[in-house]
């Protein structure tokens, strides 16, 4: 039974990171397809987290919009809980952590990230569970160009790009 439990927790971790990356890619493609800015939103709920493509940019997860919950026991983690991002920042530069609170990533009609007059940043959403650190962590990274990457790290790091 322990092997099954470990495999299932790893599946949950990978599934949540992959689904977040997929929803970010979907939101980016919607902005390009519609030739208009489209937002990706993340907000905490009573049972975890909800991520969605906010196609009308109203900040509300409408029933007609593509949505995906981050399934417990995995969660979106604030900065400082996952291993040090040194391996990621060495390649991509400083990271701006979006997980751990309400977050928005706005894509322009070309699929690049809109920064609203702010300096360009590399965004990251950390996925994991502090109660199960032995399963490691995932980082969903959003580059200024809009490209999405998924990184993996065991407890203590280092981070390795997996997608």
Asked if residue 123 has pLDDT above 90, the reply is yes
Question: Pick from 69, 119, 125: which is nearest to 98 by CA?
Answer: 125
> Is the four-CA dihedral 12, 17, 18, 22 of positive or negative sign?
positive
Residue 1: the pLDDT is 57
Task: Over range 69-91, report the average pLDDT.
Answer: 91
What residues form DSSP beta bridges with 127? Answer: 76, 138
Residue 31: the pLDDT is 97
Q: How many domains does the chain have?
A: 1
What CATH number did the domain enclosing 91 receive?
3.55.40.10
* Percentage of the chain modeled with pLDDT above 90: 74
Task: Over range 105-123, report the average pLDDT.
Answer: 91
Under 8 Å between Cβ of 15 and 39: no
For 41, left (φ over 0), alpha (ψ -120 to 50), or beta?
beta
* Percentage of the chain modeled with pLDDT above 70: 99
Between the alpha carbon of residue 151 and those of residues 3, 21, 74, 88, 89, the distances in Å are 24, 11, 16, 8, 12
Residue 74: the pLDDT is 87
- Tell me, rounded to whole angstroms, the distance of Cα 98 from its chain centroid: 8
- Residue 2: band (very low, low, confident or very high) from pLDDT cuts 50, 70, 90: low
Per-chain mean pLDDT for the chain: 92
Task: Over range 85-103, report the average pLDDT.
Answer: 93
* Residue that wins the pLDDT comparison between 159 and 1: 159
Judge if the upstream peptide bond of residue 129 is cis by omega within 30 degrees of 0.
no
> Per residue, what are the HEC states of 112-159?
CEECCCCCCCEEEEEEECCCCHHHCEEEEEECCCCCEEEEEECCCCCC
Task: Over range 116-139, report the average pLDDT.
Answer: 89
Range of the domain at 9: 2-161
Residue 137: the pLDDT is 95
* Residue that wins the pLDDT comparison between 66 and 132: 66
Under 8 Å between Cβ of 82 and 128: yes
Tell me the two tokens of residue 141. Answer: 């990274």
Residue pLDDT, tens place only, 8-59: 888 999 999 999 999 999 999 999 999 999 999 999 998 889 999 999 999 9
d(CA 42, CA 48): 11
């Amino acid at each position: 039974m322990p092997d099954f439990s470990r495999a299932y927790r790893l599946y949950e971790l990978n599934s949540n990171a992959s689904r977040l990356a997929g929803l970010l890619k979907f939101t980016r493609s919607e902005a390009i397809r519609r030739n208009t800015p489209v937002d990706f939103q993340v907000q905490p709920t009573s049972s975890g987290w909800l991520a969605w493509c906010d196609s009308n940019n109203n900040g509300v997860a409408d029933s007609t919009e593509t949505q995906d919950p981050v399934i417990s026991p995995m969660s979106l983690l604030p900065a400082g809980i996952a291993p040090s991002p040194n391996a990621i920042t060495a390649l991509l530069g400083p990271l701006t952590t979006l997980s751990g609170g309400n977050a928005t990533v706005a894509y322009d009609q070309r699929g690049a990230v809109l920064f609203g007059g702010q300096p360009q940043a590399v965004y990251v959403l950390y996925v994991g569970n502090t109660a199960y650190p032995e399963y490691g962590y995932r980082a969903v990274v959003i580059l200024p160009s809009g490209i999405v990457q998924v990184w993996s790290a065991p407890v203590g790091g280092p981070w390795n790009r997996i997608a």
